[in-house]
Chains A and B, each alone.
Chain A
Amino acid sequence: MANEVILLDFWPSMFGMRTRIALREKGVEFEYREEDLRNKSPLLLQMNPIHKKIPVLIHNGKPVNESVIQVQYIDEVWSHKNPILPSDPYQRAQARFWADFIDKKLYEAQRKVWATKGEEQEAGKKDFIEILKTLESELGDKPYFGGDDFGYVDIALIGFYTWFPAYEKFANFSTESEVPKLIAWVRKCLQRESVAKSLPDPEKVTEFVSELRKKFVPE
């Protein structure tokens, strides 16, 4: 039976980007369906009744929710090429730890950078930069977070890059000045086909975030 893979997604979502990249890394054919988050499809509500969020991966009619869970699932099902998680249990635990760090710390901090202003935004910006520096320090001199090969943590983080110009615009700073090694890593990742095909144009993301910001920060 042929694999039927559908991805319910929203183009600027840094979480959706993870799943897109993982599917492409494995060479999996999939149908991408754009969701309107103000008018969620019956399929989305049926396949993710608990959280009603994207991305939703539907594999032969069965849903897998939460981006990091989807990436692990994709790695386990299509295990024949381009391993995403390392094979060593200790390295796997490290990879999971850093993806969890990104989800717990980076997401909240970046939200403050574009959705607030004044003191709250300044505090958010400081946190955000500190978190990026921690990640840069973890990367060290390695080409990728996993070492020589592109993997789990790289996939977890790279999508946030498309939002960097928006953060820089609204909070007035330069990621390249703060975390140059991390930006070098970004450039390396962007050369990868799965990444280039899965990430939207950061300029379009900035336009989107500008519109979104108006709802949170009336000028």
Chain B
Amino acid sequence: MADKVILLDFWPSPFGVRARIALREKGVEFEYREENLRDKSPLLLQMNPVHKKIPVLIHNGKPVCESMNVVQYIDEVWSDKNPILPSDPYQRAQARFWVDFVDTKLYEPADKIWQTKGEEQETAKKEYIEALKILESELGDKPYFGGDTFGFVDIAMTGYYSWFEASEKLANFSIEPECPTLMASAKRCLQRESVVKSLHDSEKILAFAYKIRKIYCV
């Protein structure tokens, strides 16, 4: 039976991006469906009744929710090419740890950079850079977080890389001088075919960011 794969997503979402990249890394054909988050489809509400969020991967009619959960599922089902998680249990535990760090320490400051101004935005900016510096220290001399190959943590970070330009413009700062080796790795990731195909251009993301700021009356 041919695999039927649908991805319910929202184009600027850094979490949706992760699922798109993973599917493309594995060469999986999928149907992308854009969700209007102010008017969620019955399918989304049926497939993710607990959180009602995107991305939702629907594989042969069965839903998988939460972006890094989706990425692990894709890695396990289509295990024949481009492994995403390392095979060694200790390395896997490290990869999971750093993805958890990314999701707990980057998310809120990144959000606040978009949605606030003045002192609140300054504080968010400081926290964001601090978290990026810790990540850069973990990256060390490696081309990717996964070592020589693009992997789990790189996929998690790529969504944030795609927001870097917008964040820099909105909060008037530059990430490269603060985190040069992280930026080098980010540029490497952003050139990867699966990533290029999964991201919208930075102009579009910036325009979206300004729209969001207006909604929050910033």
Please, which residue of chain A has its CB at the minimum distance from the CB of B95? A69
Task: Tell me, rounded to whole Å, the shortest Cβ–Cβ distance linking A104 to chain B.
Answer: 9
Q: Are B77 and A134 in contact (CB under 8 A)?
A: no
Given the known A-B contacts A50-B101, A96-B66, A97-B65, are A69 and B73 also in contact in the complex, defined by CB atoms under 8 Å?
no
Judged by a CB distance under 8 angstroms, whether B69 is at the interface is yes
Among A70, A93, A101, max chain B CB count under 10 A is at A93
Question: Chain B, 189-202, contact with A by CB distance < 8 Å: what is the 0/1 string?
Answer: 00000000000000
Given the known A-B contacts A66-B97, A90-B64, A96-B66, are A76 and B72 also in contact in the complex, defined by CB atoms under 8 Å?
no
Within 8 A of A (CB), among B52-87: 59, 62, 64-66, 69-70, 72-73, 76-77
Judged by a CB distance under 8 angstroms, whether A64 is at the interface is yes
Q: Are B64 and A69 in contact (CB under 8 A)?
A: no
Q: Are A64 and B101 in contact (CB under 8 A)?
A: no
Within 8 A of A (CB), among B86-111: 89-90, 92-93, 96-97, 100-101
Judged by a CB distance under 8 angstroms, whether A218 is at the interface is no
Give the residues in chain B near A96, CB-CB below 8 Å.
Answer: 66, 69, 72
Within 8 A of A (CB), among B17-65: 50, 59, 62, 64-65
Judged by a CB distance under 8 angstroms, whether B134 is at the interface is yes
The CA-CA distance from A97 to B66 in the complex, in Å, is: 7
Question: Chain A, 163-207, contact with B by CB distance < 8 Å: what is the 0/1 string?
Answer: 000000000000000000000000000000000000000000000
Judged by a CB distance under 8 angstroms, whether A89 is at the interface is yes
Judged by a CB distance under 8 angstroms, whether A73 is at the interface is yes
Q: Are B89 and A77 in contact (CB under 8 A)?
A: yes
Q: Are A90 and B62 in contact (CB under 8 A)?
A: yes
The CA-CA distance from A65 to B101 in the complex, in Å, is: 11
Please, which residue of chain A has its CB at the minimum distance from the CB of B100? A66
Please, which residue of chain B has its CB at the minimum distance from the CB of A103? B100
The CA-CA distance from A178 to B72 in the complex, in Å, is: 35
Judged by a CB distance under 8 angstroms, whether A142 is at the interface is no
The CA-CA distance from A62 to B89 in the complex, in Å, is: 12
The CA-CA distance from A92 to B62 in the complex, in Å, is: 13
Q: Are A69 and B76 in contact (CB under 8 A)?
A: no
Give the residues in chain A near B66, CB-CB below 8 Å.
Answer: 96-97, 100
Q: Are A93 and B72 in contact (CB under 8 A)?
A: yes
The CA-CA distance from A76 to B96 in the complex, in Å, is: 13
Give the residues in chain B near A77, CB-CB below 8 Å.
Answer: 89
Number of A-B contacts (CB under 8 A): 52
Task: Tell me, rounded to whole Å, the shortest Cβ–Cβ distance linking B61 to chain A.
Answer: 11
Q: Are A72 and B93 in contact (CB under 8 A)?
A: yes
The binding surface of chain B is classed by DSSP as helix
Q: Are B89 and A73 in contact (CB under 8 A)?
A: yes
Cross-chain contact of B100 among A69, A97, A134 (Cβ < 8 A): A69
Please, which residue of chain A has its CB at the minimum distance from the CB of B96? A69
Give the residues in chain A near B101, CB-CB below 8 Å.
Answer: 50
Q: Are B93 and A73 in contact (CB under 8 A)?
A: yes
Q: Are A69 and B72 in contact (CB under 8 A)?
A: no
Please, which residue of chain A has its CB at the minimum distance from the CB of B70? A93
The CA-CA distance from A55 to B100 in the complex, in Å, is: 15
Give the residues in chain A near B73, CB-CB below 8 Å.
Answer: 89-90, 92-93
Q: Are B76 and A89 in contact (CB under 8 A)?
A: yes
Q: Are B69 and A76 in contact (CB under 8 A)?
A: no
Q: Are A76 and B92 in contact (CB under 8 A)?
A: yes
Please, which residue of chain B has its CB at the minimum distance from the CB of A99? B69
Give the residues in chain B near A65, CB-CB below 8 Å.
Answer: 97
The CA-CA distance from A66 to B100 in the complex, in Å, is: 9
Cross-chain contact of B97 among A69, A100, A134 (Cβ < 8 A): A69
Cross-chain contact of A76 among B70, B89, B97, B100 (Cβ < 8 A): B89
Give the residues in chain B near A92, CB-CB below 8 Å.
Answer: 72-73, 76
Further 13 A-B residue pairs, CB within 8 A, beyond A73-B89, A97-B65, A100-B69: A50-B101, A59-B90, A66-B100, A69-B93, A69-B96, A70-B93, A77-B89, A89-B76, A92-B72, A92-B73, A96-B69, A96-B72, A134-B50
Residues of chain A touching chain B, judged by Cβ–Cβ distance below 8 Å, are: 50, 59, 62, 64-66, 69-70, 72-73, 76-77, 89-90, 92-93, 96-97, 100-101, 134
